[in-house]
């Protein structure tokens, strides 16, 4: 009997070890696919510049649409690891579908960088919130935590959003630990300027050692803002990097 129990325990240990390794390898594979995709898009950009085609875009959106029509933009922060497609699920899927699905539709981590359908795909809303996981291997939006350093914010001040028709440029002015409420819902989709003012004030009042605020960037409720949201160590908090559109 003891021998049987020992074999059962050994089997369970081996099974869970195998499962853990399989999950880790899957995550590594998906992260590498994203890195390869970013490299391919960068190469396409270089080639298009040499032929004077598609000057306004970093990426080949026609190719991306073939991969997944839910890809509608690309986010890029110079001199960082953040260079990813941005997705938004169709009405046939859950609004947070890409919280648990990769850009190719496969289930699992690292999932995708995405926005909810509450936000317009042309980034015309007063506040657009972009979500991504804080992966332990440093991929996806893990790099946002670097903005907890004021020096890093000064050295990485701009966020670029590439769309098929244009390039949007945002200037980072805040990095804060915030509560985990759904921002668009909590501030009623920023339908009024007072909602934007309230959000900016709540950001400024947010406490924590990670709090950074660049007062040299002048903000007002008539600006358009980009919020990059990722996980914090505490499950009831999120780390936000906030930028103002300047072009």
**Does residue 30 register a pLDDT over 80?**
no
Q: Are residues 207 and 154 in the same domain?
A: yes
Name the domain count of the chain: 2
pLDDT in the model for residue 11: 54
Domain end point (choices 30, 55, 80): 55
Residue pair 198/181 in contact by the 8 Å Cβ criterion: no
Separation between Cα atoms, residue 231 and residue 223, nearest integer Å: 26
N residues, the chain: 247
**Residue among 210, 208, 240, 238 at smallest CA distance from 227:** 240
Q: What domain range includes position 189?
A: 61-245
pLDDT averaged over the chain? 84
Two structure tokens written together for 189: 């989709």
**Residue among 115, 165, 146, 167 at smallest CA distance from 212:** 146
Separation between Cα atoms, residue 143 and residue 113, nearest integer Å: 13
Separation between Cα atoms, residue 202 and residue 217, nearest integer Å: 17
Residue pair 128/187 in contact by the 8 Å Cβ criterion: no
Q: b vs e for 196-220, b when ≥16 Cβ sit within 10 Å of the residue's Cβ?
A: bebbbebbeebeeebbbbeeebebe
Beta strands 127-131 and 158-162 are: unpaired
102 burial (CB, 10 Å; 0-12 / 13-18 / 19+) is: buried
Q: Are residues 29 and 105 in the same domain?
A: no
Q: Output 76 or 48, whichever has higher pLDDT.
A: 76
pLDDT in the model for residue 15: 47
Q: Give the tens place of pLDDT for each residue, 137-172.
A: 999 999 999 999 989 999 999 999 999 999 999 999
CATH number where 79 lies: 2.40.260.10
Q: Are residues 175 and 189 in the same domain?
A: yes
**Does residue 49 register a pLDDT over 70?**
no
What backbone phi and psi angles, to 5 degrees, belong to 79? 60, 35
Q: Are residues 190 and 209 in the same domain?
A: yes
**Does residue 23 register a pLDDT over 70?**
no
pLDDT band at residue 98 under the 50/70/90 scheme? very high
Question: What's the whole-model pTM score?
Answer: 0.80
Token pair 């986010």 in the structure block, residue: 75
Domain end point (choices 13, 38, 55): 55
Q: Are residues 106 and 162 in the same domain?
A: yes
Q: Are residues 74 and 133 in the same domain?
A: yes
Q: Are residues 74 and 131 in the same domain?
A: yes
């Amino acid at each position: 009997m003891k021998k049987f129990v020992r074999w059962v325990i050994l089997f369970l240990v081996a099974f869970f070890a195998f499962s853990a390794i399989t999950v880790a390898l899957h995550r590594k594979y998906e992260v590498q696919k994203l890195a390869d995709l970013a490299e391919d898009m960068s190469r396409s950009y270089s080639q298009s510049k040499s032929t004077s085609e598609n000057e306004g875009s970093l990426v080949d959106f026609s190719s991306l649409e073939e991969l997944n029509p839910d890809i509608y933009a690309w986010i890029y922060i110079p001199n960082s690891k953040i260079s990813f497609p941005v997705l938004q699920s169709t009405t046939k899927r859950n609004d947070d579908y890409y919280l648990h699905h990769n850009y190719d539709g496969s289930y699992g981590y690292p999932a995708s960088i995405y926005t909810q359908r509450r936000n317009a795909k042309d980034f015309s809303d007063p506040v657009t919130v972009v979500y991504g996981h804080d992966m332990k291997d440093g991929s996806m939006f893990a790099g946002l935590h670097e903005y907890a350093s004021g020096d890093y914010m000064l050295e990485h001040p701009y966020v670029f959003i590439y769309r098929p028709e244009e390039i949007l440029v945002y200037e980072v002015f805040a990095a804060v630990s915030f509560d985990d409420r759904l921002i668009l819902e909590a501030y009623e989709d920023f339908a009024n300027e007072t909602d934007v003012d309230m959000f900016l004030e709540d950001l400024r009042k947010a406490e924590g050692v990670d709090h950074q605020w660049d007062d040299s960037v002048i903000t007002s409720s008539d600006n358009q803002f980009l919020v990059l949201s990722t996980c914090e160590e505490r499950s009831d908090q999120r780390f936000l990097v906030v930028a103002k559109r300047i072009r």
